[in-house]
Amino acid sequence: MKRFKEFSKKEFCIFLKTVILFVILSAAIVAFSFAEEVSSLKQEEENLWQKAVRHNNLGNTYDEKGDFEKAIAEYKKAIEINPKLVMAYSNLGNVYYKKGVFDKALELFKKAIEINPKIAYCHSNLGNVYYQKGNYAAAIREYKIALSLDPELAYVYNNLGDTYLRKGLADLAIKNFKKAIALEPNFIVAHFNLAEAYRTKKQFKLAKREYQKILKIKPLPDTYRKKASELLKELKHKAFR
pLDDT in tens, 109-129: 999 999 999 999 999 999 999
Q: Which residues of the chain have pLDDT under 50?
A: 1-5, 7, 34, 38, 41, 241
Spell out the domains of the chain, with CATH numbers in brackets.
45-150 (1.25.40.10), 152-241 (1.25.40.10)
pLDDT of residue 33: 57
pLDDT of residue 3: 45
pLDDT of residue 45: 72
| Burial class, 106, CB count within 10 angstroms (exposed 0-12 / middle 13-18 / buried 19+) | buried
pLDDT of residue 38: 46
Q: Contact, 162 vs 173, CB < 8 A?
A: yes
Distance between CA atoms of 134 and 106, rounded to whole angstroms? 13
pLDDT of residue 181: 98
User: What would the DSSP string read from start to end of the chain?
Assistant: ---PPPPPHHHHHHHHHHHHHHHHHHHHHHHHHHHHHHHHHHHHHHHHHHHHHHHHHHHHHHHHTT-HHHHHHHHHHHHHH-TT-HHHHHHHHHHHHHTT-HHHHHHHHHHHHHH-TT-HHHHHHHHHHHHHTT-HHHHHHHHHHHHHH-TT-HHHHHHHHHHHHHTT-HHHHHHHHHHHHHH-TT-HHHHHHHHHHHHHTT-HHHHHHHHHHHHH-SS--HHHHHHHHHHHHHTTTTTT-
pLDDT of residue 47: 83
- Per residue in 82-118, pLDDT (tens digit) is 999 999 999 999 999 999 999 999 999 999 999 999 9
Neighbouring C-beta atoms of residue 193, cutoff 10 Å: 23
Angle at 180 between CA 175 and CA 181, to 5 degrees: 100
pLDDT of residue 235: 87
Distance between CA atoms of 84 and 113, rounded to whole angstroms? 11
Distance between CA atoms of 153 and 147, rounded to whole angstroms? 7
Q: How far is CA 40 from the centre of its chain?
A: 31
User: What would the DSSP string read from start to end of 165-215?
Assistant: HHTT-HHHHHHHHHHHHHH-TT-HHHHHHHHHHHHHTT-HHHHHHHHHHHH
Distance between CA atoms of 190 and 160, rounded to whole angstroms? 11
Instruction: Give 92's Cβ-side CA count (13 Å radius).
Output: 26
